[in-house]
Amino acid sequence: MALTSGTRLGPYEILAPLGAGGMGEVYRARDTRLERKVAIKILPSHLSENPILRQRFEREAKAISSLNHPHICVLYDIGNQDGIQFLVMECVEGETLAKRLEKGPLPLEQMLKYGTQIADALDKAHRTGVVHRDLKPGNVILTGSGAQAARFWVSESCAATRGGRHADGCGHANDSSHAAGHDRGHFPIHVARAGRGKDVDARSDIFSFGAVLYEMVTGSAPSQGRAS
Q: Provide the residue type at 74 as one letter.
A: V
Tell me the catalytic residues.
Answer: 134
pLDDT on residue 100:
94
Question: Do the domain assignments include residue 32?
Answer: yes
**What's the structural domain count of the chain?**
1
Q: Residue 151: left if φ>0, alpha if ψ -120 to 50, beta else—which one?
A: left
Mapped onto helix, strand or coil, the DSSP state of residue 122 is helix
Question: Do the domain assignments include residue 1?
Answer: no
Provide the CATH number for the domain around residue 93.
Answer: 1.10.510.10
pLDDT on residue 72:
85
Spatial contact of 184 and 211, defined as CB atoms under 8 Å apart: no
Question: Do the domain assignments include residue 226?
Answer: no
Spatial contact of 39 and 74, defined as CB atoms under 8 Å apart: no
The phi, psi pair for 162, rounded to 5°, reads: -130, 150
Question: Do the domain assignments include residue 3?
Answer: no
pLDDT by residue, tens only, the chain of 228 residues? 689 999 999 999 999 998 765 556 889 999 999 999 999 988 777 766 778 877 777 776 787 788 888 888 888 998 989 888 888 988 877 888 999 999 999 999 999 999 999 999 999 989 888 888 778 898 888 887 777 665 554 333 233 333 333 333 465 544 333 333 334 444 444 444 444 445 678 899 999 999 999 999 999 988 765 555
Q: Closest Cα to residue 173, out of 4, 35, 5, 19?
A: 19
pTM: 0.71
Residues 71, 146: Cα–Cα separation, whole Å: 8
- Containing domain of residue 130, as a range? 8-218
